[in-house]
Amino acid sequence: ETGVTQTPRHLVMGMTNKKSLKCEQHLGHNAMYWYKQSAKKPLELMFVYNFKEQTENNSVPSRFSPECPNSSHLFLHLHTLQPEDSALYLCASSPRRAGRGNTIYFGEGSWLTVV
């Protein structure tokens, strides 16, 4: 059981669809993240939110739109995706104490298939 819950676990969508991935953390953390994990590629950090404010966007295409309404919830809105966007999308959270060494806690991921 993880303190970071992602839904849905599996999603199949067409290229013209609009869907959303949801993440909720029960750990009292103030930083939340979206990562993309593709086959045979290192984990890619997509977005970082700290106290609901976006602090990092790693040149992610605009067809991915994050939303962080509060420190416990994070969404990833998806529209007009491409087949190459098929991947495992991991949500994570961490405390945001000053100094390095904060542990990042991951959810179980949402498997996305774009057809």
Residues of this chain that bind another protein (CB under 8 A): 2, 4, 6, 31, 41-43, 45, 48, 50, 55-56, 90, 92, 94, 96-109
Please, what is the minimum distance in Å from the beta carbon of residue 114 to another protein?
A: 19
Q: Of the two residues 42 and 83, which places its CB atom closer to another protein in the complex?
A: 42
Please, what is the minimum distance in Å from the beta carbon of residue 30 to another protein?
A: 10
| CA distance linking residue 93 with residue 15, whole number of Å | 29
Please, what is the minimum distance in Å from the beta carbon of residue 21 to another protein?
A: 13
Name the CA dihedral angle for 45, 47, 50, 51, rounded to a multiple of 10 degrees.
-140
Please, what is the minimum distance in Å from the beta carbon of residue 74 to another protein?
A: 14
| CA distance linking residue 11 with residue 40, whole number of Å | 21
Amino acid in position 84: E
Q: Of the two residues 50 and 80, which places its CB atom closer to another protein in the complex?
A: 50
